[in-house]
Amino acid sequence: MIDLKGKSIVSIDDLSTEELVQLIDTSLRLKDELYVGESHEVLHGKTLGMIFEKPSLRTRVAFETAMTQLGGHAIYLGPNDIKLGKRETTEDIAKVLSSMVNVIMARVFAHKTVEDLAKYSKVPVINALSDFEHPTQIIGDMLTIKEKFGGFKGLKLAFIGDGNNVAHSLMLAGAKLGIHVVIASPKGYEPSTKVVERCHEISKATSATIELVNDPEAAASEADVVYTDVWASMGQESEAEERKRIFASYQVNSNLMSLAKPTAIFLHCLPAHYGDEVTEEVGHGPQSAIFQEAENRLHSIKAMLVHTAK
């Protein structure tokens, strides 16, 4: 077993391929243990500090439930409890909080905030969402894909929509696991060039393929996984109407899904805006795995906590 104790996970790229696979395998094991009623209170007496700048359903419930099932305790710190960088500096918050808890998770606006928390914290920091990456989501996604297909090599994953934080983490995970990842975005909304270049570098060792296109139909063609996300993320509300117009042809509907393999699954990190990025017919249809995917956040987060908490 690879030792991850004390390791922060700010980016998927903080993990080697072997570490990522280990987290997915542990997620699956912990899920199986939960289903058969086997206790795994391996974090008894440990405390998780949870920093939230953004609201959440899945992330908060998953982290709190994870710590409870692991025998530990979670403390919720909302936007008005800390006011990162306003009431107190991020450095001071990291130093104070890490002197009292065993692991910190942060759901923030700016990626630099979670980077700074990790820089100054004495305990591991887990990025539970920033404007640049969403590693906790993607590890749960990879668990869902493994449950469906048994592995990753040779799969095609099509992400349809904004080249955002979810797209970045999907690309990095896909590159490490040997997946053919195709991102279909409108011009001007493609993923970060820095992330694309890093994925190409990783892919040399894994035989993954990372591809950027502007045509959603080309991306979805013969895909094993079709994935989308909201067109306007939190903090982009002022752009919502303009984005609806620009992304209109990027909706995942039954016509687009018909281009994927008959065995393909549909994923969405949720919450979904039905009628915008996806139709309810697809989101609640027979190929949808979005609720299995949402539940898997719990199991992947437990794996991250088990492996990293000091």
244 class by beta-carbon count within 10 Å (0-12 exposed, 13-18 middle, 19+ buried): middle
Active site residue 44: no
What letter would DSSP give residue 210? E
Catalytic residue among 58, 60, 107, 180: 107
Catalytic residue among 229, 243, 268, 307: 229
Active site residue 284: no
Catalytic residue among 60, 198, 297, 307: 297
Active site residue 198: no
What are the CA-CA distances from residue 182 to residues 6, 155, 263 (Å)? Answer: 33, 11, 18
Active site residue 297: yes
* HEC-encoded secondary structure of 235-271: CCHHHHHHHHHHCHHHCECHHHHCCCCCCCEEEECCC
Q: How many CA atoms lie within 13 A of 201 on its CB side?
A: 7
Catalytic residue among 69, 137, 168, 276: 137
Catalytic residue among 269, 276, 299, 307: 269
Residue 30 DSSP SS3: helix
Active site residue 3: no
Catalytic residue among 134, 168, 180, 243: 134
Residues marked as catalytic: 107, 134, 137, 229, 269, 297
